Amino acid sequence: MNIGITIGLSKDNEPLWINGIKLNILNLTKTLMCIPNTNVWILDSTNEVTDLTKVDWDHTKYKTYKLTDKMKELDVLIMLGTSLPLSFVEKLRNLNSKIKVVKYQCGNNYVIDMERSIFTDPNTEVNPSWSTSQDETWYVPQQGYQNHDYYQIAFRQGPGKVKPVPFVWDPEHLDNYIRDTKITGVEYSVKDSNQKQILVMEPNMNVVKYSMVPTMMVENLYRLHGDVFNKLIVAGGNKILKNNYYKKMIMEFDIVKSNPPKVKYIGRYPAPLLFAREADIIIAHQWENPLNYAYLDAMYYGYPFIHNADFIEDAGYYYSGFNIIDGSNILEQVLKSHDSQIDEYNSKNKKVLERYLSTNPEIVDTYRKLIENLFEPNKHQMSYEYNPKTNTYK
C-alpha cells in the first residue's frame, strides 16, 4: 500500500513551526507508517523547492517527494497540507482508476469561511476549496460540532462519507527542536509563586483562540490578591496590541495600570522557546476547538496547564466554557498548591497524552481500518462516532 500526504512548501528549509499543518502531516505520517506493509510519502504539490532534502525534518525517515513524481504509484492520496483542484484529481484518477482520495481537514473551516465572508475586503481573491472530488472527507474531531454537516454539503459528500478521525500528536519534533537549538530550561521547574510568570499563547488570529478570557482571569486574580505572581505574558499578542479598540479595553485593567505593568505582549514563537523563556503556568481558552497541540505540549513538559478543552477535561486544570471567575480561582489554587502535587499531576497527564500518541496501537489500528474501508466499504464495522475519552470510536 502506497499512501501520499500532500504538503505545500514555499522555500528551502521552511520552518516547521510557522503553523500547525506540518506537524499534522508528520504526526499522521508516523501513524500510517506503523501500519504493516505500508509506504507513506510526504508529497509536495508546489514547485518552490527543487531539492527536497532541504526540509525542516528528517527526510530519510519521513520520505518527501514531488507529488508529480509519485502519482502513478499511489493507492491513497490524502489532501492535508494542500487541496488539489478538481482537474488535478481527475488527472490522477485517469492515471490510476483504483486510487482513493481523502480530504483531511485540520482547521475550523466553518469559522474561517464565515470570517472571510464577513470581514475580508470584497475585492480580495480568496477561493474556497470546495471543488474537489474526494472519496471521503476526514476531519480532526475537535472540529466536528461546527463542521460535520458543513463538510457534507460543501463537498457534496453522501451519508457516511464525512468522518471524524483520531487526533494524533507526538513529542518527537519538539524534542528534536530542543536538541538542535540547545535550548535549556524547557521543562517545568519549581519557583516561589511571586516569581512565576503566567503564559497565554493563543494565536489571536480569529475568534476560536483569543487571549482575552485568560487575561481577564489574571486581572481578576490581581484585583483580589495583588502581587501573587510575577507577570502575565501574552504571546501572539503584538498584532492585537496594534488595535486601538483592544488597547482601550486593556487600559482599564489594573495589570496594565500597575507600575511597572504586570503584563507583557510578545510575538509568536515555537512552543519550546516560549516554555523555556516565559512560562511557569499556562492558561488557555478556546471556543469549540477542544484539542490543540500546544495544550498537549505544555503538559508533556510538566507545566501546570489551566484550560477549558472538554476533550481533555481529565488532564491539567479544567474550567468550563467562558467561566472567567472559576478559571481565576483555579489559577489562585495552582499558585498556592501545584508544586506540592507535581508527581500526581504528571501521572494523570501522562495517561491522557498516551491516547493521542501517534504510535498508540489503537490509533494505528483505527487508521488501518479506515483505509481498508475505502477499498472495501464496511469491511470493518465502525460507528464513526468519536469518543473523546479514548480518541477512537464508541
pLDDT in tens, 248-306: 999 999 999 999 999 999 999 999 999 999 999 999 999 999 999 999 999 999 999 99
Residue 86 pLDDT > 80, yes or no? yes
Average confidence (pLDDT) over 204-230: 97
Residue with cell 511571586: 194
Average confidence (pLDDT) over 29-40: 98
Report the distance separating Cα 223 and Cα 219, nearest Å: 6
Residue with cell 501521572: 347
- The pTM (predicted TM-score) of the whole model is 0.95
Residue 311 pLDDT > 90, yes or no? yes
Q: Please check whether residue 41 is in contact with residue 4, taking contact to mean a CB–CB distance below 8 angstroms.
A: yes
Backbone angles phi, psi at 363, to 5 degrees: -65, -45
Average confidence (pLDDT) over 385-391: 97
Report the distance separating Cα 207 and Cα 330, nearest Å: 24
User: Which residues on adjacent β-strands are paired with residue 156?
Assistant: none
As a whole number, the mean pLDDT across the chain is 95
Q: What confidence category does residue 144 fall into, taking pLDDT thresholds of 50, 70 and 90?
A: very high
Q: Please check whether residue 7 is in contact with residue 43, taking contact to mean a CB–CB distance below 8 angstroms.
A: yes
Q: What is the pLDDT of residue 123?
A: 75
**Domains defined for the chain, CATH in brackets:** 2-170+357-393 (3.40.50), 172-354 (3.40.50.2000)
Residue 18 pLDDT > 80, yes or no? no
The pLDDT > 90 percentage for the chain reads 90
Q: What is the pLDDT of residue 84?
A: 92
Count other C-beta atoms under 10 Å from residue 94's C-beta. Answer: 9
Average confidence (pLDDT) over 54-63: 94
Q: What confidence category does residue 370 fall into, taking pLDDT thresholds of 50, 70 and 90?
A: very high
Could you give the 3-state DSSP secondary structure of residue 86?
Answer: helix
Report the distance separating Cα 318 and Cα 202, nearest Å: 17
Which amino acid appears at position 115 of this protein? E
Cell of 381: 464495522
Q: What is the pLDDT of residue 32?
A: 98
Q: What confidence category does residue 349 fall into, taking pLDDT thresholds of 50, 70 and 90?
A: very high
Q: Which of 345, 305, 311, 300 is nearest to 327 (CA)?
A: 305
Q: What confidence category does residue 121 fall into, taking pLDDT thresholds of 50, 70 and 90?
A: confident
Average confidence (pLDDT) over 90-109: 94
Tens-place pLDDT, residues 170-193: 999 999 999 999 999 999 999 999
Q: What is the pLDDT of residue 13?
A: 87
Q: What confidence category does residue 371 fall into, taking pLDDT thresholds of 50, 70 and 90?
A: very high
Q: Edge-to-edge strands of the sheet including 281-283?
A: 263-265, 231-234, 197-200, 281-283, 305-307, 317-318
Q: What confidence category does residue 132 fall into, taking pLDDT thresholds of 50, 70 and 90?
A: confident
The residues, ordered by sequence, that sit 6+ positions from 295 with a Cβ below 8 Å of its Cβ are 284, 305, 307, 309, 312, 316
Average confidence (pLDDT) over 66-85: 95
Residue 330 pLDDT > 90, yes or no? yes
